[in-house]
A and B are shown apart, each in its own frame.
Chain A
Amino acid sequence: MRYLLRRTLHAVFLLFGVSLLTFLFSALTPGNYFDEMRLNPQISPESIAALHTQYQLDRPLPVRYAHWLNAVAHGELGFSFAYNSPVAPLLWVRARNTLLLTVTAALLAWLLALPLGVWSASRFGRVPDRVVSWTTATLLVIPDLVLALGLLILAVRTGWFPTGGLVSVGYEEFSPLHKLGDLALHMTLPVLALVLATLPMLVRHVRASVAEVLDAPFLRAALGHGIPHRKLLYGYALRAAANPLISLFGFSVGTLLSGSLLVEVVMSWPGLGPLLLESILARDLYVVIGGVLLSMIFLVAGNLFADVLLYWADPRIHTAVSPK
């Protein structure tokens, strides 16, 4: 239990660090959202100053940070200047869409990577392994931006997939089944891009760690006992190789979040990515901070989940005194 407690504390520390870091960066910002109003002769300098006071942009940084922390403690994330509304509900809708995309992609990528990696490792150096290695190497050198744009062009030219958005026009009137199908069709391309972007890394790691375990004496012994090949691979080898893979899972959450940011913008998926980009261009301070923080919460949640998995999968953690 102490292990989990320590990991949670670490997560909280991380979130604090990130919020402090973004606030520090924001202090370096030249100008703010209201600067463009200065160009407008109909708005007097006094009213701009009043707006500054209203949104507390004239207060020193520590005061603003304390104020914001207080707001966060009450479940608010500040106020969006551009949307003229609180940030939290604004972000929440977008975050749901991002989560839909990333969770689906993560599940699919791992469901594909595990059998592929194990299969590749069990035929180490032979034709299937080489094919898998070459494919993953090829995918590895294609950056996600290029991949996403390529898929988009494919979609446009073939007309097989919708090229943007969450749902079709008239979604409200569809039958439940039709709604699901429509959503799935819209999700296909972004999810495919994300899966293809993360898959090669996952497969390579699964292959490497399983191949390492396959040499272990206990597996040879198990083989000698006549345990079926499939059970040997998935029951024993994968279990023994789980430790680095679970750490990799925590890491892959970060990659997925980054990837999703880009894929969302390219494929105009209404997630956090386009909102964040918009608010950066508009200098909508609290939306940027909130968006970064929210994604950080996802990341930390993913990492905590990985820690719990590790706790469950690796008996050494229960018993060992935590090394400093």
Chain B
Amino acid sequence: MSQRLKLTKWLVVLVVLHCIVAGAGFFAPYNPVEQDREHPYLPPMRVHLMDAQNHFHVRPFFYPLRLRTGSFDQYEEDTTSAIPLRFFTRGTPYRLLGLIPSRLHLFGSTDARIHLLGSDAYGRDQLSRILYGGQVSLLAGLLGATVTLLFGALIGMAAGYYDGWRDELLMRVAELFLALPWLYLLFALRAFLPLAVSPLEAFLLVVAVIGMVGWARPARLVRGVVLSVKERDFVRAARGFGAPDFYLLRRHILPETASVLLTQAAILVPQFVLAEMTLSFLGLGVPEPMSSWGNLLASLQQYSVLVSYWWMYLPAVAIIPFFLGYLGLASALQERVGAYKIDEKSSWNPS
């Protein structure tokens, strides 16, 4: 029972996190490509309840930043003008989930720009970029995992069902892919695909590349399941009644592989998100001005950014809850599969 609870807990965590990213338009105060060149690299702003005169305000407010006198890159709070933070305010238009046009934002301000997590070299809001970048990275991870699992399931089922030389060949190739360090494989694949492409093409390319990398492990696991399932009585019975191969695979064998595939999905998605991040971080993935968690971190490759603008590291911190969620889900699923197996065993030999 507690296993079920655990599973639900992690699922809820993940759903909430994904909803926040999917609804980036609402949660982010600005458009991720909207620039403010007058104010590059603004540090994260603080939201106050107590003003400079130590008076308490019910409505949270912030002080806009201005250049410290005599400095050209050090900002300080301009305590003369407190700007109230407005919730459920109307701001820049966006399309929720790419469909529903809206102007409603969770928070914002009409008088000055607020950057809770600072801004980047072009004065773009870091929080908005992290949220929108998450859409790209997570979608790449999810799509990549779908492609991989599709390939993995197909190849694994083919290998397990049609044994003999086909099985041998497929599993040898799978072994090859398993043995390769994944980053090298990713690099090798990416090396031989076009470099200068449009952002959308680049995104699809990244999905294709990471989708092609990971099929071997799910394929082997699915093959194992198929090998044992196809000798089970209900499958043999169906075959005896003259069911065609395709029907057997789809109706009787595929459902049995579901738990393996689900567990693999929970393991693969964060790996692929990381793969996308790595590619984009290295400049081989999604290009600017589109933001992804990887290319948001790319500016850290400059020494000056590393020294002075620590908030450019925040995208890296933002992804950790997602990884935690997926890890938790994967281990909960694994435990469940384990428990399920024990159940099955005990039901096979009733004593």
Contact = CB atoms under 8 A, between A and B. Distances in A.
Interface of A: 13-14, 17-18, 21-22, 25-26, 28-31, 137, 140-143, 145-146, 149-150, 152-153, 156-157, 163, 254-255, 257-259, 261-262, 265-266, 276-277, 279-281, 283, 288, 292, 295-296, 299, 303
Contact of A149 (B189, B190, B193, B313): B313
A28 B192 contact: yes
Interface stretch (B68-76, B113-121, B273-281, B341-349): B273-281
Given A28-B193, A146-B316, A276-B187, A299 B181 contact: yes
B188 A262 contact: no
A200 B301 CA distance: 27
B183 interface: yes
- Secondary structure at the A interface, as helix, strand, loop or mixed, is helix
Interface stretch (B157-165, B222-230, B317-325): B317-325
A281 B283 contact: yes
Interface of B: 172-173, 175-176, 179-184, 187-195, 274, 277-278, 281-284, 297, 300-301, 303, 306-307, 310, 313, 316-317, 319-320, 323-324, 327
Contacts of B191: 25-26, 29, 279-280, 283, 288
A280 B278 CA distance: 15
Contacts of A255: 181
Contact of A262 (B278, B306, B310, B316): B278
B318 to A, nearest CB: 10
A219 to B, nearest CB: 24
A254 B316 contact: no
B306 A258 contact: no
A133 B281 CA distance: 31
Q: Which 7 A-B pairs have the closest CB atoms?
A: A258-B183, A258-B181, A146-B316, A280-B191, A29-B192, A254-B181, A25-B192
Contacts of B316: 145-146, 149-150
9 contacts: A17-B173, A31-B194, A141-B323, A145-B277, A152-B306, A153-B313, A255-B181, A258-B183, A299-B181
A25 B193 CA distance: 9
Nearest to B182: A258
A13 B173 CA distance: 11
Given A141-B323, A280-B284, A22 B303 contact: no
Contacts of A296: 180, 184
B151 to A, nearest CB: 16
B189 A25 contact: yes
B323 A143 contact: yes
B274 A143 contact: yes
Given A281-B195, A292-B188, A254 B274 contact: no
Given A18-B176, A29-B192, 10 more contacts: A21-B176, A143-B277, A145-B274, A146-B317, A153-B310, A261-B181, A262-B183, A276-B187, A295-B184, A296-B180
Given A163-B303, A280-B191, A281-B195, A18 B180 contact: yes
A255 B307 CA distance: 30
Nearest to A144: B274
Nearest to B176: A17
Contacts of A31: 194
A146 B192 contact: no
A279 B190 CA distance: 12
A276 B187 CA distance: 8
Contacts of B172: 13, 17
Given A28-B193, A262-B278, A265-B282, A299 B187 contact: no
Contacts of A29: 191-193
A156 B307 contact: yes
Nearest to B177: A21
A198 to B, nearest CB: 12
Contact of A257 (B181, B189, B303): B181
Contact of B188 (A22, A143, A156, A258): A22
Contacts of A25: 188-189, 191-192
B181 A145 contact: no
A30 B188 CA distance: 14
B184 A280 contact: no
Contacts of A295: 181, 184
A148 to B, nearest CB: 10
A229 to B, nearest CB: 31
Contacts of A21: 176, 188
Nearest to A14: B179
Question: Which one of B183, B190, B317 has the highest number of Cβ atoms from chain A below 10 Å of its Cβ?
Answer: B183
Given A258-B184, A296-B180, A143 B189 contact: no
Contacts of B306: 152-153, 156, 163
Given A25-B189, A153-B310, A299-B179, A257 B319 contact: no
Nearest to B318: A146
Contacts of B187: 261, 276-277, 280, 288, 292
A318 to B, nearest CB: 25
Nearest to A152: B306
A17 B179 CA distance: 11
Given A143-B323, A261-B183, A299-B181, A149 B297 contact: yes
Contacts of B182: 254, 258
Contacts of B323: 141-143
A196 B188 CA distance: 26
Nearest to B324: A141
B274 A150 contact: no
Contacts of A266: 301
A280 B195 CA distance: 9
Question: Which one of B181, B187, B281 has the highest number of Cβ atoms from chain A below 10 Å of its Cβ?
Answer: B181
A247 to B, nearest CB: 13
A248 to B, nearest CB: 14
A145 B281 contact: yes
A162 B2 CA distance: 49
